[in-house]
Structure 1
Amino acid sequence: MTTRSTPAEPEQDARVRAVFDDIRATRNTTYINNLWRMLAFDAALLESTWADVKRLMATPSHLDPLTKELIYIAVSITNACSYCVHSHTAAARAKGMTDAQHAELLAIVGLAAKTNQLATGLQVPVDAVFDGGPVPGGA
C-alpha cells in the first residue's frame, strides 16, 4: 500500500509535464513508470530526482550503462527496495545482462553481505595498507 495517492492527472502541472516529456525523450519511450508518477505530487522533488537520475544513469560517463544498472541493483537489494530491484533488473536485461551475469551479481551481493556482517561483528581493524600505508613484509 502506498503512503499517498498518485496524482490523478499529473501532467496538468506544466513542470511535471516537462519532466515527463524529458523522461520520454531521454528513454525513447511513451511509458512513465510509477515512481515518476508518484513523485509528481511535488514538482520540485520530481525535477531534482530526474535531474540526478538523468545525469548519473542516462549520460555517458566512465562506467558503461550495464555496470551502472548492476550497481543500482546491488544497492537496491541492500536497501531492500523491491521496486528498484525490479526496475533496474529490467533495465539491466534491456542493456544485455544475461542470466549468468545476474546469478553472479546475486552471488557477489550475498558474499559482500556475509563478509560485511562478519567484519562488522568482529570489528576487524582496517589494514594500514588499505589506507596507503606500507605493505607488511614489502620493500
Structure 2
Amino acid sequence: MSLVPVLDDDEMKPEARAVINEIRDVRQTDFVNNFWRVLANDPAALKRTWGSLREVMGPGTLDPLTKELIYIAVSIANGCEYCIRSHTAAARARGMSEAQMMELQSVVAMASETNRLAIGLQVPVDDVFKGLPPAPASSGD
C-alpha cells in the first residue's frame, strides 16, 4: 500500500492535474500510472520529475529501447519492482524480445556478481582504467 494516496484526477490540485494532462498528451493515452498519481500529492515534485524524465528519456544519442534497457537494469540493481515492471512494459512496446530480456537479466546478474567480488576483495583499479599512464615495470628489486 502506498504511503500517500493514489489520487484520482478529481482529487488533484489544479497544478498536478495540468501535469497529468500533459502526460496523457505526450504519451497519447488516457492511462496515467500510479507512479504519477502518487507524485500528484506534491505537484512541484510531480512537475520536476516529469520534466526530468521527459528530458532524459527523450531523443538523444541512445535509442529509446537502449534507454529502457538501462532503466530496467538500474531498477533491478535498486530492487524497484514498480520500475522493473513499468519499464519492461515500455521496452516491450519498443520492440524488446524475450531473448533480449533474458540476456539483459544475465548481464545484470553477472555485473552484480563481479561487482560484489571486486568490492569484497578490494581489487585496486588499474591505472589504465583511470586514464593514467601504466606504472613502470618492476626492476626486479
Q: Normalising to structure 2: TM-score of the pair?
A: 0.90
C-alpha deviation, 1:113, in angstroms = 0.2
Q: Which runs of structure 2 are paired with 1:21-100 in the superposition (5 Å)?
A: 21-57=21-57, 59-100=58-99
Indicate conservation of the 8 Å contact 1:10/1:16, yes or no: no
Which structure is larger by alpha-carbon Rg, 1 or 2?
A: 2
In the alignment, the residues of structure 2 paired with residue 33 and residue 84 of structure 1 have an alpha-carbon distance, to the nearest angstrom, of: 11
Give per-residue Cα distances to partners, 1:30-55, cap 9 Å, x unaligned. 11000000111110010001001111
In the alignment, the residues of structure 1 paired with residue 6 and residue 103 of structure 2 have an alpha-carbon distance, to the nearest angstrom, of: 36
| Cα RMSD (Å) | 1.6
Aligned residues: 136
Q: Normalising to structure 1: TM-score of the pair?
A: 0.92
In the alignment, the residues of structure 2 paired with residue 66 and residue 99 of structure 1 have an alpha-carbon distance, to the nearest angstrom, of: 13
Give per-residue Cα distances to partners, 1:63-91, cap 9 Å, x unaligned. 10000000000000000000000000000
State, as a whole percentage, how many aligned pairs show the same letter.
53
| Residue type at the aligned position of 1:61 | G
Indicate conservation of the 8 Å contact 2:12/2:40, yes or no: no
In the alignment, the residues of structure 2 paired with residue 88 and residue 77 of structure 1 have an alpha-carbon distance, to the nearest angstrom, of: 11
